[in-house]
């Protein structure tokens, strides 16, 4: 609003003052009609009530300075009334502006709400959590570790010395430009979760009971049953006088917990560099009750995991940092299984790539 000329008084009688202030009141009402935005309200306030150049202050200074003493009270009363009128218009405009803002943000509760579909655990994660829970109820804690490992933790400390033929069974994805480092310090993507067993024993004296779920990587060509990324659950138990019978009892109980009390287990001799003796574990087919079906290839049995007693040579590597692991005083067992294979078997999934496709049409079947 531009600053208008200050009107002159026609006298100091009550009639003349009433006429002058009536004109100002009319001016206030006319300018208040444009108070439709926050910017207009602020401009109106500054125009009329500004402390330095406000119109009301300028008129007050001009009229009161030249007014006789007996007229100052009459002018002051009318100025107070005019100021109250201006403030009333400001308050009304500010309230309306706030209400408009609230109205703009208001939610119509009669409209249907936005539907947000509830998520569900991925079949892989669900299977992993269920398996881990079985061992947690048996007193095992959960161990975790890095997916990018050194050759020492992934191979050497687990009794895979350089050049050992068993290394050829794990197609390893190595990190580039590591040739200048000593072999044991070279980085690679872990091929199993077993390095967490070594790291845990180095940090914690026996007894140890841990189960280790996690993602692992191997340079496998993708097909219906293989993927360069998959998941494992491994377990480790170390204490005084741990025997192979303890291992068999633990795994038999875990398989019954997960697949049902009617499931049977059987063990066959096998080989793993970090356990001796070692065994492969089969369970009676939980789908046909051991009678023979497509899932068990009509044999009645399904090979599910590998296990064995921890090789004393592994304790020897751990002893370098944790002397309590004396193979003459302690013993232990370890086991490992593939989560992907168990999930595929449990949910009747024929192609492992479906687990990693992110296809909602596939995943919503398990919601």
Residues 20, 167 share a domain = no
Give the chain's length: 367
In three-state secondary structure terms, 193 is coil
pLDDT for 252: 95
Question: Would you say residue 9 lies in a domain?
Answer: no
pLDDT for 1: 47
DSSP code for 174:
B
**Given 105, 131, 156, which residue is the final one in a domain?**
105
Residues 317, 237 share a domain = yes
pLDDT for 71: 82
Task: Tell me the mean pLDDT per 10 residues along the chain, length 367.
Answer: 65 82 82 78 80 78 80 83 83 67 69 77 92 95 94 91 72 86 90 94 94 92 85 96 96 93 93 93 88 84 93 93 93 95 87 88 84
Residues 21, 96 share a domain = yes
Domain count, the chain: 2
Domain residues for 75?
14-105
pLDDT for 134: 95
Residues 242, 311 share a domain = yes
CA-CA-CA-CA dihedral for 101, 88, 4, 7, to nearest 10: 170
d(CA 67, CA 16): 13
Residues 127, 99 share a domain = no
Evaluate whether 331 touches 243 at the Cβ level (below 8 Å).
yes
Residues 224, 178 share a domain = yes
CATH number at residue 208: 3.30.930.10
d(CA 306, CA 193): 13
Residues 249, 100 share a domain = no
pLDDT for 2: 45
Residues 127, 78 share a domain = no
Residues 151, 70 share a domain = no
d(CA 123, CA 322): 38
Question: Would you say residue 182 lies in a domain?
Answer: yes
Question: Would you say residue 112 lies in a domain?
Answer: no
Residues 164, 199 share a domain = yes
Residues 147, 100 share a domain = no
Residues 100, 188 share a domain = no
**Given 46, 73, 105, which residue is the final one in a domain?**
105
pLDDT for 51: 77
């Amino acid at each position: 609003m531009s600053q208008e000329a200050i009107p002159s008084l026609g006298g100091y009688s009550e009639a003349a003052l009433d006429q002058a202030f009536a004109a100002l009141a009319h001016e206030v009402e006319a300018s208040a009609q444009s108070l439709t935005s926050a910017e207009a309200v602020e401009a109106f306030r500054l125009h009329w009530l500004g402390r330095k150049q406000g119109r009301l202050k300028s008129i007050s200074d001009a009229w009161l300075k030249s007014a006789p003493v007996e007229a100052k009270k009459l002018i002051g009363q009318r100025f107070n009334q005019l100021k109250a009128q201006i403030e009333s218009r400001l308050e009304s405009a500010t309230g309306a502006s706030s209400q408009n803002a609230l109205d703009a943000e208001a939610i119509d509760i009669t409209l249907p709400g936005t539907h947000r579909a509830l998520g569900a655990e991925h079949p892989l994660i669900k299977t992993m959590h269920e398996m881990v829970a079985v061992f947690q109820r048996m007193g095992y804690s959960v161990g975790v570790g890095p997916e990018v490992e050194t050759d020492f933790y992934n191979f050497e400390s687990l009794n895979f010395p350089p050049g050992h033929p068993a290394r050829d069974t794990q197609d390893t994805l190595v990190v580039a430009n590591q040739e200048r480092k000593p072999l044991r310090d070279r980085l690679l993507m872990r091929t199993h979760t077993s390095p967490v067993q070594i790291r845990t024993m180095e940090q914690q004296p026996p007894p140890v009971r841990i189960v280790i779920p996690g993602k692992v990587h191997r340079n496998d060509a993708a097909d219906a049953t293989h993927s360069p990324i998959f998941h494992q659950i491994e377990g480790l138990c170390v204490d005084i006088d741990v025997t192979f019978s303890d291992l068999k009892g633990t795994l038999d109980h875990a398989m019954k917990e997960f697949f049902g009390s009617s499931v049977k287990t059987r063990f066959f001799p096998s080989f793993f560099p970090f356990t001796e003796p070692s065994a492969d574990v089969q369970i009676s087919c939980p789908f046909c009750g051991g009678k023979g079906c497509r899932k068990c290839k009509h044999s009645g049995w399904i090979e599910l995991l590998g296990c064995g007693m921890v090789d004393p040579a592994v304790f020897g590597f751990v002893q370098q940092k944790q002397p309590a692991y004396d193979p003459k005083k302690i013993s232990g067992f370890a086991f490992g299984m593939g989560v992907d294979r168990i999930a595929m078997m449990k949910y009747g999934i024929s192609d492992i790539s479906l687990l990693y496709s992110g296809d909602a049409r596939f995943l919503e079947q398990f919601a």
